[in-house]
Chain A
Amino acid sequence: MTILAAGVDVGSLTTKAVVVDGAGRKVGWSLVESSPHLAETGREALDAALGMAGATLGELSAIVGTGYGRAVLPFATKQVTEITCHAMGAARIFPGTRLVVDVGGQDSKAIRLGNGGDVLDFAMNDKCAAGTGKFLNAMAATLRTGLDGLGPEGLKSRKQLTMSSTCTVFAESEVISLIAQGESVPDIVHAVHRAMAKRLSGLVRLVGAAEPAVFSGGVALNVDLVRLLEEALEVRFSVPDQPQLVGALGAAVLAMGTK
């Protein structure tokens, strides 16, 4: 019988679950939209991941809960913050990782790792929409590109525009001004990405840029933004295949380790 463990990352927008085997390999995973009933959503995500792994709850040796809703998961055997879990997850996928930048829907964080994948320092932005997925959501809505459309649009940019605002509300009105001035959507999107990259690089510099670096969270799929952050920090970022699952993976790995 294989030994299995799981991690559940309950965020305010999405909830992720990962099941790993004894070697720390992913054998099941899921991503669901969070509801206000965090415990239920957590269970839903876990069940889906178990389904993919062809396993049941009883077969799990341990379950680590992380994320915003980690305290309310009745089935979790342990709670660990998303900072530690993201560090663990990134280091598992890319051994030797020294820096993790995670940009989710509601917050962003920069984590510095030591030699052993342990957390040395971290900085978070969870108060201000700018620098998080929310900022991009707002811009995507104003520009009518859809969130997934931002990356490809930005890559098409030919002209460098500057946006000076760091506040989401101000930025929205700046974008509208640029549209009114006849600037193209790709150029505006690229400028939005540049503004966000600047903001994120400020966050990273609080803990110190380092390589190897990993970019996780849903926003990591925005190639244009990642490239701009690389330019701003002079650091190459590795992006995992499933960047939103890094926290849950880290939690699962920790769960496996606690046995």
Chain B
Amino acid sequence: MGRTEYLIAQKEMGRKVAAVWPARYPAELLWAHGICPAEVWDPPLEPERASGHLQPYVCGIVQRGLELLLSGGLRPADILLFPHTCDSLQNLATMVRDLGGEARRCLFFYPPKRDAGERAIAYLMAQLRDLSGELTLHVGPMNAGALEDAMELGSQRTEAMRRLYDLRAEGRLSAGNAAFYAAVRACEFLWPEDAVHSLHTFAKEQEGTPSDEAVPLVFSGVLPQPADFMEKLDGLGVRVVEDDFLGCGRRIVRRTIPAGEDPWRVLAERMQALPPCCTQGASVGDRTNFILELVRRSRARGVVILDVKFCEPELFDAPLIVAGLRESGVPVLILETEMEPRTPAGMLTRMEAFLETLS
């Protein structure tokens, strides 16, 4: 079932749908209010209407998200949720709400940009409560115990995702890159129970030793873009064995958060426990170490930094992370994508040349 059909079915079931922009947001809270989040990362649209509102130097994620909205693709969404991630998304959010006449259904969320310890947790908790208040106004209050149930589903989904990532890193998953990311990215819009089921099924079907002698690499960046790039990598004999993609591996809590009495607190702590991210002010050292750890656990032969053109948070970190990785003896390739409809020849040439240096 395609994404659109699935979301229509959700609505028919009585759930609400929230279009959610990148990147980090409290999905559990939305579930607790009976809202199915549908993340807007890279709708396959060329920015036509959007270019009347955005300069050419704005990244493809913002351009396409706006294009989706302007083309009417988000009409069925009950809520538009904009977590604060970067300058461009920040301004897109207010353009949509304040200049685009969408004040009625726009909501916001601000993950803290620094490690402010208890202050950040307190602020997050206050925001979560405020957001719940806003959601109540929009769709009604949470049922008793709904938040606890949602937290449990969140744990299950994280567990299922972690298991999949572990299998892949250990070389015990036969699926190719394209299939892997299709499964992982389906969770951008699946209701959590469906997501858990889908991930479990995929793991079960794909558990096994991969048949090919693919070159194992770790990828870091924003998204597995262009859309056919993972398929192309399958053709080139590259296996992505771990990833630090903002939209994928960087949103999986890699360690167990102790259960707590206060679900609001646990939810805040979960958000703060996510891997280090440039959009949250994580240090270059922490990010480099995280990627090195991914290389170590997956025994990858190198790292590919896959940046989206104009993406400031990533592009500021990249040169320093690359230097750090190279100092640690890890071969690194830097690629840049403009989220083209098809992987450009130049990108494949660079990938192949990198593979040639590894052999």
Contacts and interface: CB of A to CB of B under 8 A. Distances in A.
A81 interface: yes
Given A79-B352, A83-B350, A122-B353, 17 more contacts: A80-B356, A81-B349, A82-B349, A83-B349, A83-B353, A83-B356, A84-B353, A84-B357, A118-B357, A119-B356, A119-B357, A124-B346, A124-B349, A124-B350, A126-B346, A126-B349, A127-B346
A3 interface: no
A81 B345 contact: no
A79 B355 CA distance: 12
A68 interface: yes
13 contacts: A81-B349, A81-B352, A81-B353, A82-B349, A84-B353, A107-B346, A118-B357, A119-B356, A120-B357, A122-B350, A122-B353, A124-B346, A127-B346
A80 B349 CA distance: 9
The 6 A-B residue pairs whose C-beta atoms are closest, nearest first, are A83-B353, A81-B353, A126-B346, A84-B356, A81-B352, A119-B357
A103 to B, nearest CB: 15
Task: Classify chain A: how many residues form its interface, as a range.
Answer: 10 to 19
Contacts, number: 29
B356 A81 contact: yes
A97 to B, nearest CB: 16
A122 B356 CA distance: 12
B346 A119 contact: no
Nearest to B347: A126
A80 B359 CA distance: 12
Interface residues of B, number: 8
Interface in B315-356: 345-346, 349-350, 352-353, 356
A170 to B, nearest CB: 14
A68 B345 contact: yes
A50 to B, nearest CB: 26
A80 B353 CA distance: 8
Contacts of A81: 349, 352-353, 356
Contacts of B349: 81-83, 124, 126
Contacts of B352: 79, 81
Interface of B: 345-346, 349-350, 352-353, 356-357
Nearest to A67: B349
Contacts of A119: 353, 356-357
Contacts of B356: 80-81, 83-84, 119
Contacts of A107: 346
Contacts of B345: 68
A79 B357 CA distance: 14
A185 B345 CA distance: 37
Nearest to B349: A81
Nearest to A254: B356
A122 B349 CA distance: 11
A107 to B, nearest CB: 8
Contacts of B353: 81, 83-84, 119, 122
Interface string A94-127: 0000000000000100000000001110101011
Contacts of A118: 357
Nearest to B345: A68
Nearest to B338: A127
B340 to A, nearest CB: 10
A69 to B, nearest CB: 9
Interface string A111-152: 000000011101010110000000000000000000000000
A119 B356 CA distance: 8
Contacts of A83: 349-350, 353, 356
Interface in A220-247: none
Contacts of A80: 356
Contacts of A126: 346, 349
A127 B345 CA distance: 11
Contacts of B346: 107, 124, 126-127
Nearest to B332: A121
Interface in A149-182: none
A141 B151 CA distance: 66
A206 to B, nearest CB: 9
Contacts of B357: 84, 118-120
A79 B352 CA distance: 10
A34 to B, nearest CB: 14
B183 to A, nearest CB: 29
A44 to B, nearest CB: 21
A118 B357 CA distance: 7
Nearest to B346: A126
A84 B352 CA distance: 10
A208 B268 CA distance: 45
B264 to A, nearest CB: 47
A122 B333 CA distance: 9
Contacts of A124: 346, 349-350
Residue among B350, B352, B353 with most chain A CB within 10 A: B353
Residue among A68, A81, A107, A124 with most chain B CB within 10 A: A81
A107 B347 CA distance: 13
A122 B346 CA distance: 13
A119 B359 CA distance: 11
Contacts of A127: 346
A84 B350 CA distance: 10
Nearest to B336: A127
B204 to A, nearest CB: 36
A119 B345 CA distance: 20
